[in-house]
Chains A and B, each alone.
Chain A
Amino acid sequence: DAGVTQSPTHLIKTRGQQVTLRCSPKSGHDTVSWYQQALGQGPQFIFQYYEEEERQRGNFPDRFSGHQFPNYSSELNVNALLLGDSALYLCASSLSDFDTQYFGPGTRLTVL
C-alpha cells in the first residue's frame, strides 16, 4: 500500500515565477492538507481540501491556491514567488478530517 507521495522532490525557481506541487494521498484517504515548513521551524497549515473544495485555510495570501481532483489527489499552486516562499512543502492525507494524518516526504522549493 503506497503512502502519501509528492512530486517533484526538489524544485528551484526564480522570484516572480509560478510553481505547482503535486500530492497523491494514501489509498482510501479523501482529505488532503498542505503545510509549509521553513528551515528550523514546525510546519504551518496552508489549507485543507475535502470533496474537491477548500474546507479551511491558514494565514497565507491568495498567491497560494490549490485544487483537489475527483481521485482525491491535490495540487498546490504558488504565484509570484518570493524569496520567503523557499521552504519544504508537505502534503498530508487522512480519512476524513478527524483521522490521523499521514505525511508525504515533501517538496523542497528554493526561490532564487
Chain B
Amino acid sequence: TQLLEQSPQFLSIQEGENLTVYCNSSSVFSSLQWYRQEPGEGPVLLVTVVTGGEVKKLKRLTFQFGDARKDSSLHITAAQPGDTGLYLCASRGGYNFNKFYFGSGTKLNVKP
C-alpha cells in the first residue's frame, strides 16, 4: 500500500499570506496529482507532475515534484478566500497501477 502523508492537516491564514503544503511518501511516485475539493463537491484536478524536479505554475499556485519523486509541495502566493478548500495529493499504487491513493488532505481556510 502506498501511503501519502500530507502536512499540515489544517491551515488557517489571513488573505494575502503565503503558504506551503506538503505530500510525502516512502515509495517513489510514478506521477502525482494535486486536487482541490470544496464542500459538497468532488475533487477537481489542479495539476499532474511526472518528472523528478518538475515545477509547474498555475496562476498563484506553484507545484514542485521532488528530485527522487517521493515528495511534492504546493505553494500558494498571496492567498485569497477563494483558495479555501481541501487540498489533496494522489498517486497510483506502485505495482497496482489501477489503484489510486489519496492523502488525507490539508484543509485550508483563508480569512478575508
Contacts and interface: CB of A to CB of B under 8 A. Distances in A.
Contacts of A103: 42-44
A50 to B, nearest CB: 9
Interface in B1-45: 1, 4, 6, 40-45
Interface stretch (A12-20, A36-44, A62-70, A73-81): A36-44
Contact of B41 (A35, A42, A100, A105): A105
* CB-CB nearest 10 A-B residue pairs: A103-B42, A42-B102, A56-B98, A42-B104, A42-B105, A43-B102, A103-B43, A90-B42, A42-B88, A105-B41
B62 to A, nearest CB: 20
Contacts of B99: 45, 48, 56, 58
A52 interface: no
A106 B44 CA distance: 12
Nearest to B96: A56
A103 B102 CA distance: 13
A42 B45 contact: no
A110 interface: no
Interface residues on A, range: 20 to 34
Given A4-B42, A103-B44, A106-B42, A41 B100 contact: no
A104 interface: yes
Interface in A81-99: 90, 92, 97
Contacts of B40: 105-106
Nearest to A58: B99
A104 B43 CA distance: 8
Interface in B82-98: 88, 90, 96-98
Nearest to A33: B100
A34 B105 CA distance: 18
A100 B98 CA distance: 13
Given A42-B88, A42-B103, A100-B48, A106 B41 contact: yes
Contacts of A92: 42
19 contacts: A33-B100, A35-B102, A41-B105, A42-B6, A42-B88, A42-B105, A43-B43, A43-B88, A43-B102, A55-B98, A56-B98, A92-B42, A97-B97, A97-B98, A100-B45, A101-B100, A103-B43, A103-B44, A106-B40
